[in-house]
Structure 1
């Protein structure tokens, strides 16, 4: 784990390390400045315990005292001696193995420890006044030998009547050595403890900050509107504040994802509605332009020929008849356009009433061919409707408009001497009526556009062909009204327009 200077892991690790370092430093300072005083106090307490123990066991018998002094020194490293008020040493823990209780005269057989003990006793007897001590009272003294060897001594009254005193002492070198060893050990232990604390701090800083780092990454993703990541945690108790914070972030992420999703959906719907409104507005403007364009030419012709008749330009009866016939044709064209527009509007608004009845398709197709026979003969076209012997149940008026539109377009766009074929096929619950006309067909990208209002593949031939440009739009509106379908497709030799007639619901009494 890499610790960055300003990361929470680094701060957590630094805080724990600093506390551990301060704690160990305080221990070192306490040991350095107060340990020796504390140890001196405990040593004085040990001397007092030794004095109390000897006083409690003393009954005037010096033989028992010798054994007690020996066992006590072996246990506590405190040297003990019993002396008279005149300085005579009756017994001591370091001379009892000689077998007598005489005064400690110097002999060549003494070791250094015994020699120093005699020197300490001599210094005490020479420099201390014992007579002021009451029964079982004691006092402390610091004895320094010529080689600067120092001792802590306790002089206490053992038997005031007999003039016997107990001397208990220990060397300062032992005290100082113990203090030095303790300081060295504390330094070693403190260093080891510091390393252990650093390791623990490293571990805990990683473990305790890992959820926070994970939640910070989760918050960053949420700020980028990425809600795919969730806080998983480590199975902590529900009372753990960190775990509760992580779960709160998960809930917040879910709420934000839902809210933003709903907002996006609303925005998409609003954008779609705006686009639809713009499309409708464009269609309305285009519709007005197209209607104006379609009406402009016949109105101009009617106005021009009417003014000519008024001005007496056509004096000849044939000229007047030509003028009147032209006015009637243009008025008829305007009437057909207006009627188709009204019919289309009623169909799109759902205001057109439908009347279902049984219809013989062959008879309807034959009537349509008869109505357009003059147009077909003028272009020498052949029309075949032999494959239409099917009965359907639908609205005859609307179906007749579809058939007449298809047949009129076929006659209009079929080359002279060409052929037109009308057929019908039953397929499940639908009947498909198809009108085929020979020709070149249409480009594939224009096939979906021909159902739009006033769309023409060749605008230059519009007036010439006599179409209004809304016939196929009317067919599509009729298909929606009858819950059917319509379409066109290029086939070998020409193009075919089809219309699916669904079975109407049966008539109810």
Structure 2
């Protein structure tokens, strides 16, 4: 079972409090009686010194002081002469004399049986104390201690002090009952036990509060460290103490910030490296694809050139007209190869992102007009009708790339529209500020799956017809790459007895 630091800290405080209270109880149990006896002996010694200091042989002058001492200290005092005659006794001092002018010296008292018993017991104790006193200590220190027991009750005894007074001619006997001492000791022990229990409870409560207050920042620091271990750096130590724990918390915060920065930088480096690896893999794949496609597409024109060149070398063309045809074919195929290679290179540059758009404001009508002019030889040779829908739409884009899109759409339309067919160029301003350019040509509709595949490189709907018409199969792929470069979109759809190719340019970023 895992114990928290708060539990351990609280347990340590509880154990310390219990040990402390136990030590107090043990001291009280084993040493309190001896200590209490020592203190009572000191008190009796103090009484002896006071009486010795104020007694000059005249009992009557100190009777009131002696009674006050007896009442305050709970002792019984007696003064005996050297010949053991009573000069003063606390029991007699409490009686009223029958006749006479003084308390002592021939005064008679009326006593009952109980009082007579007390006087007899007091007299017996005084004589026992004087008989048991250490004479040598009494001579050296002027006083000594003696313990006595009651003749009637074994458990009723006295702690007594015997001391010389009035120049050593008389004796002071001070007696303190053990029952009084035992009663005080019992009360004190009981009070100490109650106080110890309350003290222990208070210590437990204070220990709980202290452990909670002291361990709260440590627990918070532990939570922050756990979050850091899970790479979660959002938690921070929020304490503001100036001690070592506060310094530790602030160090943890600083470490968290540094780790977050270091791991973030490492993550960015890893992402950049992964992106570079993907880019390299993409370039390698495109390079392999370029080689494969180039080999495939150039195979036919190379074979034609090789065949016709071999025919010229062997003299197959035996007249000038045939030789001119052979040379013309070789030149056409060489031009086709050159066009194909240039388009493939352009497409590769677009796909690699090596074309940086140069954005300017353009007149769409001018782009359409220029494209129609450049392709006039093609569409006029097929007797096609070019319709240019007048427009005042302006667009912010790259002029060369957008011109390439219009040219590719238009040459594709001329290539696949029937002889004498219609071709329409138009543009529209979208509600969000974007612009859509479109080229529609009359002709056969394409299946929906074909409309998706025509954007793939070297894909032809009719390979024989495409080669006859001079198509390379990558014109629309170039349009798609240009759309990605300009963050635009492109597509084709069957419409009104023909096919419409559209190119949508988004609104400028600044609106």
Same fold (TM over 0.5): yes
Matched, 1:46 2:49: no
Matched residue SS, 1:467: coil
Is contact 1:420–1:438 with CA below 8 Å preserved after alignment? yes
Structure 2: state its 5+ residue gaps. 98-102
Alpha-carbon spacing, 1:366–1:54, altered in 2? closer, same or farther (3 Å):
closer
Is contact 2:6–2:211 with CA below 8 Å preserved after alignment? yes
Matched residue SS, 2:57: coil
Is contact 2:385–2:420 with CA below 8 Å preserved after alignment? yes
Corresponding position of 1:209: 215
**In 2, Cα distance between the equivalents of 1:286 and 1:405?**
22
What CA deviation, in whole Å up to 9, does each residue of 1:385-429 have, x standing for no partner?
Answer: 3637999999999887665433321022224664211346799x9
What CA deviation, in whole Å up to 9, does each residue of 1:86-116 have, x standing for no partner?
Answer: 2211211221133332699996250765553
Matched, 1:189 2:195: yes
**In 1, Cα distance between the equivalents of 2:198 and 2:180?**
27
Corresponding position of 1:298: 301
Corresponding position of 2:259: 256
Is contact 1:302–1:331 with CA below 8 Å preserved after alignment? yes
Matched, 1:226 2:223: no
Alpha-carbon spacing, 1:135–1:72, altered in 2? closer, same or farther (3 Å):
farther
**In 1, Cα distance between the equivalents of 2:9 and 2:292?**
76
| Cα deviation, residue 314, structure 1 | 5.6
Supply the RMSD in Å over aligned alpha carbons.
4.5
> Mean alpha-carbon deviation: is it higher for 211-220 or for 382-391?
382-391
Size of the aligned set, in residue pairs, is: 491
Corresponding position of 2:163: 156
Corresponding position of 1:145: 150
Matched residue SS, 1:372: helix
Is contact 2:56–2:166 with CA below 8 Å preserved after alignment? no
TM-score by length of 1: 0.79
| Cα deviation, residue 177, structure 1 | 2.9
> Mean alpha-carbon deviation: is it higher for 264-273 or for 14-23?
264-273
Corresponding position of 1:437: 441
Matched residue SS, 1:232: coil
Is contact 2:388–2:426 with CA below 8 Å preserved after alignment? yes
**In 2, Cα distance between the equivalents of 1:173 and 1:394?**
116
Matched, 1:467 2:471: yes
**In 1, Cα distance between the equivalents of 2:331 and 2:285?**
33
**In 1, Cα distance between the equivalents of 2:424 and 2:293?**
32
What CA deviation, in whole Å up to 9, does each residue of 1:47-97 have, x standing for no partner?
Answer: 111111112111222212322221110111111011112221121122113
Matched, 1:289 2:289: no
What CA deviation, in whole Å up to 9, does each residue of 1:158-179 have, x standing for no partner?
Answer: 2247x32211111223223322
> Mean alpha-carbon deviation: is it higher for 64-73 or for 4-13?
4-13
Equivalent of residue 27 in structure 2, options 25, 30, 55: 30
Equivalent of residue 122 in structure 1, options 120, 127, 130: 127
Equivalent of residue 500 in structure 2, options 477, 495, 502: 495
Alpha-carbon spacing, 1:184–1:343, altered in 2? closer, same or farther (3 Å):
closer
Is contact 2:233–2:256 with CA below 8 Å preserved after alignment? yes
**In 2, Cα distance between the equivalents of 1:499 and 1:14?**
75
Matched residue SS, 2:91: coil
Alpha-carbon spacing, 1:73–1:111, altered in 2? closer, same or farther (3 Å):
farther
**In 2, Cα distance between the equivalents of 1:130 and 1:461?**
151
| Cα deviation, residue 477, structure 1 | 8.3
Is contact 1:421–1:435 with CA below 8 Å preserved after alignment? yes
Is contact 1:24–1:194 with CA below 8 Å preserved after alignment? yes
Is contact 1:346–1:352 with CA below 8 Å preserved after alignment? no
Structure 1: state its 5+ residue gaps. 503-509
Alpha-carbon spacing, 1:198–1:113, altered in 2? closer, same or farther (3 Å):
farther
Matched, 1:307 2:314: no
Matched, 1:77 2:74: yes
Is contact 2:362–2:394 with CA below 8 Å preserved after alignment? no
Aligned 1:7-18 pairs, distance under 5 A: 7-18=4-15
Is contact 2:434–2:504 with CA below 8 Å preserved after alignment? no
Corresponding position of 2:205: 199
Is contact 1:360–1:392 with CA below 8 Å preserved after alignment? no
Matched residue SS, 1:110: helix
| Cα deviation, residue 136, structure 1 | 8.8
Matched residue SS, 1:387: coil
**In 2, Cα distance between the equivalents of 1:195 and 1:471?**
91
Corresponding position of 1:93: 90
Is contact 2:368–2:425 with CA below 8 Å preserved after alignment? no
Is contact 2:425–2:439 with CA below 8 Å preserved after alignment? yes
> Mean alpha-carbon deviation: is it higher for 487-496 or for 178-187?
487-496
